[in-house]
Structure formats: C-alpha cells, structure tokens
Chain A
Amino acid sequence: MTEQNELERLTQRNAAKRKLINNLFIFFCGFCTLIAIIPLGSILFEVVKNGYPAISWEFLTARPGAIGSAEGGIGPAIQGTLIIIALTTLLGVPFGVVSGIYLAEFGDSKFAKTVRIVNDMLTEFPSIVIGIFAYYIVTIVLIGSFSAFGGAFALAIIMLPVVARTTEESLRLVPNGLRESAAALGIRKWRYTWSVVISAARRGMVNGIMLSVARITGETAPLIMTILGSQWFFSSFFGPIDALPLRIWRLSLLPYEYARIQGWGAALVLITIVLTLNIIVKYVTRSKVRT
C-alpha cells in the first residue's frame, strides 16, 4: 500500500515537471513572436512621429534646396521613383511572366529545373552585386552615363525571378480540366494558354507583380551605382535621376537637423507606398480564398 502511494507521488511530481517544461515552452514561443513585433512597432511609430511634421505640399513637390538650407523637398525623388518603377515593370514583367508560363506549362524538363534553381538564387542574391553588374553593363558599356535605365535594369533583374515564381504558382493552380477542354475543342496550346489559362490565373499574377513592385520600391543598394541621384526634376532617360530610398540615404549622411527631418519625411512617404502595396495584395488574396 505504501509502495503504491510512493509511486503515485513520484508520477505526479514527474507530471508536474513535464507540465512546467511544456508551459515554459509555450511561453517562450509566444514571447519570441512578441519580441519580433516590437521592432516593427517601433519603426512604424518613429517614422510616423518624426516624418509627419516634415510633410507639406511643398515638401512633396519642390526640389531640394541648397545643401545646408532647410528649404525644398523631395519632389524629384518621388518623381524618379515612379519613373524607375514604371521602367522596371516594363522591362521585368514580360521576362518574368513568360518565364513563369514556361515553367508552369513546359516545366518538367531538366532545363526548367535549372531555371527554377537559378531563379531562386537570383531572388536571394546580394542586390549590391546586381548593382555592380548593371553599372558595368548599362552605365559603362551601353549608355556611358548614370541613368534611369541603369536603375531599371538592375531592379528588373531583382524583379524577374519574383514574377516568374508567382506566375508559375498561379498558373499551376488552374485546374488541368480547363486546359484539356480547351485542347479538346481543337484550340492550339499558345492560344488557350493565353486566353483560358492566363485569364483564369490573372488575379494571382497581378498580385505577384504588385508584390515584386513593393519589393523593388525600397531597394537602394543597386541604385547607388546606376542612377547616382539628382537635385533636379527628370529631364532625360540618359542622365542621373533621383529616387526615394537613395535620397533617404543621402539625407541621413548630412550633419544637419533639417536633413534628418526631411529624411524621416521621405521615409514616411516610402513606407506608406510599400506597406499599402503589401496590404492591398494581402486583402485581395484573402477575399479570393473566401469566395
């Protein structure tokens, strides 16, 4: 009788210990999630708090004043970012989409496997190295000057694999029955891929493109050696041009109080664009899942 009591006591003690460890584990995992959210909260808070006072119509539209004077704004940077995004999209999306179509529709070969691996590698590649590459190809060889094209070329290389992957994923979600019924009607593959498969997968593809735009909008490193930055509004595709992330960096290097305020203001504009794109994509994909 006493032996059994002893045993029961031991088991209970053991159970209590296991329970404690388990609770500690659950607490640890929750704590980790909390820890990761704090920096995001702090960044958003500081960007809004410090950036908001800088925002005015003049700040958003005027060109920068002389260095050291607190006048002017980030007009050329906003304009430049929009121009570069447009150029990059024109350059990167066709390559990305068609690569994605190839991978989804003819993607069982060894070649396609290699393309997938190289795309994955390109996605994770140090963007500054891509900047060096674009510098040599566009700034030195093709155009001979810092230019919007150089920046767009570099950013398109970053965009391409992202678009290729999301396109492939969305096309793979299209049921094979659709392809087969189109083929059974005697429609050629290129024709039904275009008008049946792609139109069924359009939403996912557009989402992927928007995500890739969000990603390149904040990209800074490759712009240093390709567009250089500028104090002036856009005048030519073949001369230096400004961009928001680059302007933020340059402002952060200046030892003036006004530069700090303008830097935060520019950061607020940039983060608003990037987060808005992300939230739209999230909202659209969610409502798709629901219906």
Chain B
Amino acid sequence: MNADKIFKQFSSVMAFSAIGIMILIVFVLVTQSAPVWQEFGLDFAFGSDWNPVEGRESYGVRPYIYGTLITSFLALLLAVPISIGIAIFLSELAPPIIREPLSFIVELLAAVPSVIYGLWGLFIFRFYIRDYIEEPVINSLGDTIPIFSGIPFGLDLFTAGIILAVMIIPTISSVAREVIYAVPATQKEAAYALGATRWEMMRTSVFNYAKSGLFGACVLGLGRAVGETMAVTMVIGNTIGAQALPESLFQPGQSMASIIANEFNEADPGSLHPSALIGVGLILFFFALIIQLFSLYLRERSLKVGEVLD
C-alpha cells in the first residue's frame, strides 16, 4: 500500500505545479512592478504620458488599455456572428461528407502561428484594407463621423482588430459547436415536430437553450484577443503615449501586449522602464483573469442548466 500512497502524493504534487506557477506569476508581477506604482500611484493606470528618457521618466497605461479594448471588441463584433454561423453550419447544416474536412480547415486557422498572421498582415492584408476599406470609408464618412477619419495607412487599430477577428474565429466557433451539440436532441425534435423550419428551430430551441454557453464562448474569444501579442504588434502601428490615445479607428495605436513586446528588450535595467512594462503586464493579467473567470462561470452555468432540463 505504501508505494500507492507515494504514487498519489507524487502525482498530486506535480498537479499542484500549475497552481504554484499561477501564484508565482502574480507574486513576480506585483513585486517587480512595485517601483512604478510607488512612483506614480494610480496615475500609472490612468495617465497617458509615456517617456522612458532618463530624468523625464513618466509612465501611463491608459492609451494602451484603450488600444487593447478597442481592437478586442472590434474583433469580437466581427468574429461572433461569423463564428456562430460556422458552428451552426458545421453542426447542423453541412452535408456530412464535407463536415469533417471543413471543421479541420477551420481548426487549422488556430494552428497558424501568430507571427505568420503578423507577417501576412504587414506585407499583404494591410494593402487590401487600405485600398478597399479605409480609403472609401474615410472619403465618404470621414468628415462626418470622427471615428472614421484619418489617413488611409493600413497599419492601425482597424487592421489589428480584423486580424484578431480571424484569429479568434476558430476558438469561438469550436466552443460554440460544443455548446450546440450539448442541446438535447428532444428539444430540436420538438421544434421540428411543430413544423418549425431550421431557422425557427435554431431560434426557439437552440439559442434559448444555449444562450449562456454561447455567450461564454464569445467571452473566451475576447480573452484570446486581449492577450494576443505578435500579430497585433506587427500591424497596430506602434505609437506611444498620448499619440496612442485613440480618436479614430484608422489611426496607429498600441495595445498592452504590443508595448511590452516592442520595448522590453530596450528597457534600461537601471530605470523605471522595465518596472513600468511589468506593470503593464500586471494590468493585462488582471484583465485576462476577469475575462476568463467570467467565461468559465457562463459555460459552467450553461452546463448546469442542461443537467436540470435533462
């Protein structure tokens, strides 16, 4: 019996490593960013100056928080209807022969490394966005609607948002598919038996039943978008400080992840710069944590509702 006890103890210690890492991450982020919080207090989170020059040091994260939120929500706005469309198509509508290959192809979208999305965005996609979306939109709406004003450039918040949308589509659609699968067949059959068309069946049985699960899938996608680094860094335009405060979608910006990627290696260890970047990491961590817990809560709730109704 002794060997079995050791086996259990040993494996539980290894399983604890994930929890230990999580605790250590929080500890490192808090202690290593402490100098910048001590120096600037809450101005660090809400200010918009960013100047690493010695003697004039000043750090504020607000523009980057906006950059992250704007690109992520733009991505969500585009990706949610498309992903749910895909999930429905692949689980209910597509002919069985093409179902398997199609879902593999959508999964492959998630396998493409983020740096390759960035390369494609920087050298290819950017010009399509600039010529076919930004130029016409700016020319027709730019004068009346401020968020559509600016100079067509192609490396800006808008392009970053669209690339993020492509990157989170596989995440949202695969979770949404699972949620739709989990809807009991009797629910669907009941709707069909009443003479519902496919759309009516979806609306009455599936959407109502799977609402919170689908919402959870979207929040999970949001979490992905918030933490995504390389692709965003390569197309967002990389302005700093007050210049990065967004006034228009067609304006170069900066996200929390991209400022860390851009400046981490250049930061002078003797200054507050590394501490400020780690502070950005702490705020990013905080956002990711809240989004993930929310998504988890929604998906758990959706499963529980399912059990009760079963």
Contacts and interface: CB of A to CB of B under 8 A. Distances in A.
15 contacts: A22-B197, A29-B86, A29-B89, A29-B93, A32-B89, A33-B89, A39-B125, A94-B14, A102-B15, A115-B16, A126-B229, A128-B227, A248-B115, A249-B115, A274-B112
B7 A193 contact: yes
Interface residues of A, number: 86
Given A43-B116, A43-B120, A271-B113, A33 B86 contact: yes
Contacts of B104: 282
Nearest to A31: B85
A267 interface: yes
B184 interface: no
Interface stretch (A1-9, A63-71, A195-203, A219-227): A219-227
A142 to B, nearest CB: 13
Interface string B35-64: 000000000000000000000000000000
Contact of A129 (B83, B88, B288): B288
Interface string A108-132: 0001101101111110111111101
Interface string B112-124: 1111111110111
Interface string B1-28: 1011011101110111111011011001
Given A33-B90, A218-B116, A221-B229, A126 B284 contact: yes
B113 A40 contact: no
Contacts of B22: 118, 121-122
Interface stretch (A53-61, A156-164, A174-182): A156-164
B82 interface: yes
A219 B25 contact: no
A217 B104 CA distance: 20
B29 A270 contact: no
B173 to A, nearest CB: 8
Q: Which of B29, B119, B170 has the most CB of A within 10 A?
A: B119
B273 interface: no
A85 interface: no
B108 A217 contact: no
Interface in A5-45: 18-19, 21-22, 25-26, 28-33, 35-37, 39-40, 42-43
Contacts, number: 254
B272 interface: no
B194 to A, nearest CB: 13
A228 B266 CA distance: 11
B85 A220 contact: no
Interface of B: 1, 3-4, 6-8, 10-12, 14-19, 21-22, 24-25, 28-29, 32, 81-86, 88-90, 93-94, 102, 104-109, 111-120, 122-125, 166, 169-170, 173, 197-200, 202, 220, 223-224, 226-230, 233-234, 257, 260-261, 264-265, 277-278, 281, 284-285, 288-289, 292, 296
Contact of B4 (A98, A188, A270): A188
B264 to A, nearest CB: 5
B292 to A, nearest CB: 5
Given A249-B234, A267-B119, A271-B112, A32 B82 contact: yes
B288 A126 contact: yes
A160 to B, nearest CB: 6
A95 B19 CA distance: 12
A29 B88 CA distance: 7
B281 A122 contact: no
Given A26-B93, A160-B17, A128 B82 contact: no
Grouping DSSP codes into helix (H, G, I), strand (E, B) and loop, the B interface class, with mixed when no group exceeds half, is helix
A220 B257 CA distance: 12
Given A31-B85, A43-B120, A252-B119, 12 more contacts: A22-B197, A28-B85, A47-B116, A95-B14, A99-B11, A102-B12, A126-B257, A126-B285, A137-B28, A217-B113, A263-B119, A270-B113
A238 interface: no
Q: Which of B21, B116, B220, B289 has the most CB of A within 10 A?
A: B116
A148 interface: no
Contacts of A82: none
7 closest cross-chain pairs (CB), A and B = A218-B113, A126-B227, A32-B85, A190-B7, A102-B11, A29-B89, A22-B197
Contact of A190 (B3, B28, B125, B197): B3
Contacts of A278: 107-108, 111
Nearest to B162: A39
B86 A36 contact: yes
A37 B285 contact: no
A21 B199 CA distance: 7
Contacts of B220: 124
Contact of B116 (A26, A132, A161, A248): A248
Contacts of A94: 14
A183 to B, nearest CB: 11
A111 B257 CA distance: 32
Nearest to B171: A124
A209 interface: no
Contacts of A164: 15, 18
A226 to B, nearest CB: 10
A95 B104 CA distance: 29
Nearest to A37: B105
Nearest to A278: B111
Contacts of A271: 112-113, 116
Given A99-B15, A128-B281, A220-B113, A30 B93 contact: yes
A149 interface: no
